[in-house]
Amino acid sequence: MDVWRVSPEGGTPERLTHQNSDVAYVTPIDAGTVLYVSHDDDGSGPWLWAVDADRKTSRRVSFGVEKYTSVAATPDARKLVATVANPGGSLWTVPLAADRIAEEADVKPEPLPTADSSAPQVRGPALYYLSSLGAGDGVWRYEDGQSLEIWKGSDGSVLAPPAPSPDGRKVAIVLRREGKLRLHVMPAEGGQMQSIANTTDVRGGPAWSPDGRWLVVGGSRSDGAGLFKVPADGGEPVLLAAGSVSNANPVWSPDGSLIVYAGPNVSAYSPLLAIRPDGTAVPLPDIKVRRDGERVRFTPDGKALVYMQGVLRAQDFWLLDLTSMKTQQLTRLRQRDSMRTFDVTADGKRIIFDRLRDNSDIVLIELPKIGGK
């Protein structure tokens, strides 16, 4: 999104910014200055920005690590009211059992050396996750009691959960480059990164095929939007399903026969859809998940799907048996922090998930008087 203006009498709209990001809370404070909230080019933030409407130039006006999530002005534009957040996340586990519903008392913390942790992804004995050290989110790998930062957030904020390859040797990440979201592949130990699918502006996180030859991701290119199958060696993406799937966040079944993803947004929710690797649609029960997060995973044996369901701060885990197509509730959680992403441990016995807190305050900002006015 970007900020535009148009005359009340009509005419041609003028583009004022080039954020190509999530612009919100557009707030004019005088005839030529408009404030708004948006992420930076590298994905860090959101920060507070000002655009000079006459020059059509933008600059960041907030500094430090505080993140601005909203802004508004009094009618005389003398004061601003803003929401300032210092968000944090932590990882937790809960048993995955088909014979009972797990309660809040069954939830256990997953201790990690990093203070801020989110977006867990399991590959064998290794746990990959996102953590911020004051800049954007970087990628960490935790194994044998040790955490290693394999991608620094200061080099570019990672905008989707890291996707480790089936053999654990590579990790796919999404970064913003030149105003576009691009898919990259790097060694699991860190090191040189390769950009792939450069013709596709990706949306959401990717998933690997079981043989490691392909990735699947939602996105758009010059001929339209859809779900794309991307060669891991950097070849041209293959369109699997056309249409708006901006938050698809697909998952690929362990046997390679099925891809499940979130369909087009309807208000705050998206339907779960399924497709074969050749593009053949597969019917699923009517299941809707929230659009803001990665909310579905296969069990390690590929016989079932675990998914999140509920309102924003009342998410629980459910199970879809892919043979009987019957669903059942797995958890009844009481703590109402925001939950974005989860994964299933390699033995299929636990769900590991994140809990996120904004830690927000409402602040009053008095604007300085200029020229005696």
Percent of the chain with pLDDT over 70: 96
**Domain-embedded: residue 373:** no
Spatial neighbors of 221 by CB under 8 A, at least 6 apart, are 199, 200, 201, 237
Spatial neighbors of 270 by CB under 8 A, at least 6 apart, are 247, 262, 263, 264, 288, 289, 290, 291
**Domain-embedded: residue 372:** no
Which pair of structure tokens corresponds to residue 340? Answer: 């974005």
**Do 179 and 32 have their domain in common?**
no
**Do 38 and 73 have their domain in common?**
yes
Q: What is the model's pLDDT at position 373?
A: 47
**Do 236 and 210 have their domain in common?**
yes
Number of helices (H), then strands (E), belonging to the chain: the values are 0, 36
Reply yes or no on whether the pLDDT at 367 is more than 50: yes
**Domain-embedded: residue 237:** yes
**Domain-embedded: residue 171:** yes
**Do 66 and 155 have their domain in common?**
no
**Do 276 and 220 have their domain in common?**
yes
**Do 110 and 64 have their domain in common?**
no
**CATH number for the domain harbouring residue 241:** 2.120.10.30
Reply yes or no on whether the pLDDT at 25 is more than 90: yes
What pTM value is reported for the model? 0.84
Lowest mean pLDDT among 131-140, 201-210, 269-278: 131-140
**Domain-embedded: residue 56:** yes
**Do 346 and 200 have their domain in common?**
yes
Which domain covers residue 214, as residue numbers?
A: 88-357
**Domain-embedded: residue 151:** yes
CA–CA separation, 197 and 232 (whole Å): 9
Q: What is the model's pLDDT at position 372?
A: 46
Find the mean pLDDT for residues 11-23.
Answer: 88
The model's pLDDT over 60-99, given as tens digits with 9 standing for 90+, comes to 988 777 789 999 999 988 999 999 988 789 999 999 998 9
The model's pLDDT over 139-171, given as tens digits with 9 standing for 90+, comes to 999 999 999 999 998 888 898 999 999 999 999
**Do 182 and 293 have their domain in common?**
yes
How would residue 173 be classed by pLDDT, with cut points 50, 70 and 90?
Answer: very high
**Do 295 and 330 have their domain in common?**
yes
Find the mean pLDDT for residues 261-278.
Answer: 91
The model's pLDDT over 96-130, given as tens digits with 9 standing for 90+, comes to 998 999 999 999 999 998 878 999 999 999 999 99
**Do 201 and 275 have their domain in common?**
yes
**Do 214 and 168 have their domain in common?**
yes
> What integer best gives the mean pLDDT of the chain?
90
CA–CA separation, 191 and 362 (whole Å): 41
The model's pLDDT over 315-351, given as tens digits with 9 standing for 90+, comes to 999 999 999 999 999 999 988 788 999 999 999 999 9
Find the mean pLDDT for residues 353-372.
Answer: 83
Q: What is the model's pLDDT at position 37?
A: 95
Q: What is the model's pLDDT at position 118?
A: 94
**Domain-embedded: residue 183:** yes
Which pair of structure tokens corresponds to residue 227? Answer: 């779900």
Q: What is the model's pLDDT at position 86?
A: 80
**Domain-embedded: residue 235:** yes
Number of separate domains in the chain:
2
248, 243, 303, 239: which is closest to 272 by C-alpha? Answer: 248
